[in-house]
Homo-oligomer: A and B are copies of this chain.
């Protein structure tokens, strides 16, 4: 279990990259993020070391290069982050979040159909 409950913005980007590639290196993450969020190589390195300290990543040296992989599952992290966000912004109420989203988002027909299907699946599960 990570020491710190929530990830910062740039930590998210790094973790998403590592979840995507499985096991990776500083160089690979640096290159993957370069098009959209360019930082120095050593900045990426610092972030990844700190994520090891925070127990989000583990590190293994193979030859001269460190390889990093996630110690936490993406779905578990998403669950935790979503829970924190809803607790903070909507007093923990997922109903309030849903109502807010329906109020403020331009859901089109396709979106609504997709959500209907999710409801149907959930109702089947609940039977």
Contacts and interface: CB of A to CB of B under 8 A. Distances in A.
A118 B115 CA distance: 11
Interface stretch (A40-48, A63-71, A99-107): A99-107
A8 B12 CA distance: 16
Interface string A72-105: 0001001101100100111000110111111011
Given A98-B114, A102-B121, A114-B95, A78 B89 contact: yes
A106 to B, nearest CB: 9
Given A78-B89, A100-B78, A112 B122 contact: yes
B101 A112 contact: no
B88 A12 contact: yes
